[in-house]
Homo-oligomer: A and B are copies of this chain.
């Protein structure tokens, strides 16, 4: 794509109210735009990153045998009343009446909707386990939505739900999803994810698990052992000890504290939802039982913000290759590089071409701000060749087009 055509261009300064790094850099780089507090447009460059994050998650969910579907966002009060969450989760739910006095909630999660769907279609253990997921908009009535796209009134969520004939079967899949999540986060470029034991909030009385990225800018606090052998991590709602005490699991290292960002969570919900919603299936012995239930979330839009929080320098964003809006950022200085752009495109290279008539300094600053992994410069100085520089390195190389294409073209 030619950068001259991209909407919108970079900005020299961040909005005055932008407190967080992801807010500042994503707005300046032209990835997101704020409609109102907690409500964001994903602009063309931002949507490309979001779609790559979504595709990684989709592949890992499919690999667990889950099937993608799409459920409605507007929910009838009656279904939320069956579990009592119309009242208990009132604080986070947008609820309203239409002009005919029918009451609705906007989706803040989909457990009740999934159980309603399952009880209409599933009668027997032979139809279980059921593993279904979607990517869809969630709405949460946030009093103060700050932190850029880390916390919104409206955001994208991947939500997976599984239904099982037994607790054993449920936990087997639960731990399988945990591993799928770790693979997905690794593919997105997160180097270290802590899986913290946590409380279940409005979802369950059981302990749940959060996927936490260590970051100074996080809203969460977790306690963890950094011995490299045990995996003891708890969030502040369940942690009962003190920082500096010995780890209760390995007994070796002292417990550390960190502010962190939650990018995913998994909830073992037992039979509470199927009991309250009168969802029964026939088991192998012909008995009617309430099936076991679990739900699993990842916020792809929050992931994009978190990646910026953990991958940037004072010049701009540094995208991991797997989720970068483009793989290469071609810059021409004083000479035309259209020919090279066309050849890279023909070779299948995912390339952004900054074809604007601006100074080298302005174009380089924009390339650093936008944060595409490889910068390619064509100028009089490169003499028909191409200068290659990685965003996260200071070293430059001068290569011919063939070598550049070899390195960048998809295999």
Contacts and interface: CB of A to CB of B under 8 A. Distances in A.
Contact of A130 (B7, B97, B154): B7
Contacts of A94: 74, 96, 98, 104
Interface in A59-107: 65, 67-76, 94, 96-100, 104, 106
A41 B69 contact: yes
Interface stretch (A42-50, A208-216, A365-373): A42-50
A191 B74 CA distance: 34
A303 to B, nearest CB: 15
A50 B134 CA distance: 13
B71 A73 contact: no
Interface stretch (A116-124, A228-236, A247-255): A116-124
B7 A72 contact: no
A360 B113 CA distance: 35
Given A74-B154, A113-B35, A154-B73, A122 B8 contact: yes
B71 A47 contact: no
Contact of A39 (B5, B74, B96, B153): B74
Contacts of A5: 65, 67
Nearest to A155: B72
Interface of chain A, main secondary structure: mixed
Report the copy number of this chain in the oligomer.
2
Contacts of A127: 7-9
A202 interface: no
Max chain B C-beta neighbours (<10 A), residue from A43, A113, A116, A130:
A43
A71 B120 CA distance: 34
Nearest to A35: B72
A36 interface: yes
A116 B76 contact: no
Interface string A130-162: 101000010101010000000001100000000
Contact of A6 (B67, B74, B117): B67
B132 A67 contact: no
A33 interface: yes
Interface string A1-42: 000011111000000000000000000000001011001111
Contacts of A67: 5-7, 44
Contacts of A42: 69-70
Contacts of A113: 35, 41
A35 B67 CA distance: 19
Given A72-B154, A98-B141, A139-B74, A132 B33 contact: no
B70 A141 contact: no
Contacts of A35: 71-72, 75-76, 113, 116-117
A253 B333 CA distance: 62
Given A5-B65, A33-B120, A70 B47 contact: yes
Contacts of A40: 72
Interface of A: 5-9, 33, 35-36, 39-44, 46-47, 50, 65, 67-76, 94, 96-100, 104, 106, 113, 116-117, 120-122, 127, 130, 132, 137, 139, 141, 143, 153-154
Q: Which 5 A/B pairs are nearest by Cβ-Cβ distance?
A: A96-B96, A8-B121, A44-B67, A42-B70, A39-B72
Given A33-B120, A41-B69, A41-B70, 15 more contacts: A7-B121, A33-B117, A35-B71, A35-B76, A35-B116, A35-B117, A36-B72, A42-B69, A42-B70, A44-B68, A44-B69, A72-B154, A73-B139, A96-B97, A137-B137
13 contacts: A6-B67, A7-B132, A8-B122, A8-B127, A35-B76, A35-B113, A36-B76, A41-B113, A42-B70, A44-B67, A47-B69, A73-B137, A94-B104
